Amino acid sequence: MLKCGAEVMPLRLRNHGWVLALLVTLAGCGVEVAVTDDPNDLEHPELPPDGDLPEGADVPLLPPIDDDPDAAVLEGDAAGPESDLGAVIVDVPTEGDVPAVVDVGMPTCVGSASGPSSRWTCAPSRVRQRCISGLVQTEECPNGCVAQASGADDTCAAAPRMCVGSASGQSSLWTCTSTRSARQRCVSGVVQNESCANGCVPQPSGTNDYCASAPPPLPPSSPTTLPTCARRPLLHWGLHPTASDHLRCAGVPAARITQTIGYATASAGTHAPDGRVAGVQYAAATDISTRSLSSADIRTLLSRLANQGFAAWYRWPGHDGWPSSQAPHIHAIYVGAAMKSSLRSQVRSWLDDRNGLVSNTRYGFYSWTSAQQALIRVVFNRYN
């Protein structure tokens, strides 16, 4: 920093050549600054006036004018300790060359739940926020925001499942419960439940299941118990003991029984075990061969089976919902013993004059008397 009275060295201004005079104004010195590029106004400090030069004197040269204004050459080192340091380059920009500097700062996402982080972060009022390029991004979470572990985006909660636990799922169609004691449906996200005192009857897909109607009154003098049959087992395994006796009383020999307990995929569990008697498993469902029987013989056998406590259908290929590709036979369910829910559903279908299949359509091959249906209903309700 120059002080008042300091010696002023010649300066070279960019694009101006040598300065002839430079006066420095310091605060309080009252010294004015004058800049000129007229070489005639500056006298070299080491040159005496022209008249004082002796002949043959060694005249020091002025520093050369450099064509490259950006190359600063200092010659002080070569000139010795008493010589000038040489030319000092000073870049003096004009006022118009200096851009205005405005410190606008960087946006910092002030108020964002995530602060400066770019990860989604839960905020109050069911929203989440993050900071991207200094701007706050906000996303609404109608079902609420779920905080995640550190370093992971918080997430918007998924829409809640409607009608959880309803037998109908999300459907508004009435659907029987697994116990067939009620039916349910989903309406506007709310489960509606209706009890079925007499059981629920499944219907084909796309159709409302319905509650079975109240049983008609028993006909006069109608039996309420099964007839007595002597104990003589038809099979050693697979039948409930009393079912075996009543099959024999209905005129079914052991040779016509084609299936009791079974696990065939096509049966969908219909012939799975229903319980045990004296430690031996039994199935309430039995398949009976109709080989060599006429339609009249089959109808007679269906009537006898009802009198002995069996809800039975003739599975006639291509009729009453039974596939034409399947074998003909009689499917009989003994109602005088405990049974699985799928068989209970079939018995209720039989009591409603339907086919006991998934289609649950009206059964047309045979119709039982009201007394026979009343007997099956009473015995069935007694054990199931």
From the list 247, 223, 217, the residue with the least C-alpha distance to 234 is 247
pLDDT at 236: 79
pLDDT at 124: 86
Euclidean distance between CA atoms 289 and 252, whole angstroms: 10
- Adjacent-strand bridge partners of 191: 186
Kindly write down the DSSP assignment for every residue of 16-27, as one continuous string: TEE-S-B----T
Which two structure tokens, joined as six digits, stand for 317? 């290929």
Euclidean distance between CA atoms 62 and 81, whole angstroms: 18
Which two structure tokens, joined as six digits, stand for 282? 């039994």
pLDDT at 74: 47
Euclidean distance between CA atoms 220 and 59, whole angstroms: 157
pLDDT at 293: 94
Euclidean distance between CA atoms 42 and 19, whole angstroms: 7
Euclidean distance between CA atoms 89 and 11, whole angstroms: 7
Euclidean distance between CA atoms 322 and 313, whole angstroms: 10
Whether the CB-CB separation of 19 and 11 falls below 8 Å is answered with yes
pLDDT at 233: 83
From the list 307, 350, 349, 311, the residue with the least C-alpha distance to 331 is 311
Phi, psi torsion values for 145, nearest 5 degrees = -110, 140
Kindly write down the DSSP assignment for every residue of 179-202, as one continuous string: TSSEEEEEETTEEEEEE-TT-EE-
Residues in the chain, pLDDT under 70:
1-107, 215-222
pLDDT at 257: 94
pLDDT at 93: 57
- The enclosing H or E element of 377 equals helix 370-383
Phi, psi torsion values for 339, nearest 5 degrees = -145, 165
Whether the CB-CB separation of 174 and 183 falls below 8 Å is answered with yes
Q: Note the maximum CA span of the chain.
A: 168
Phi, psi torsion values for 17, nearest 5 degrees = 80, -160
Residue ranges covered by each domain of the chain:
1-95, 107-160, 163-214, 241-383
Euclidean distance between CA atoms 149 and 156, whole angstroms: 14
- Adjacent-strand bridge partners of 262: none
From the list 345, 355, 343, 347, the residue with the least C-alpha distance to 376 is 347
pLDDT at 162: 78
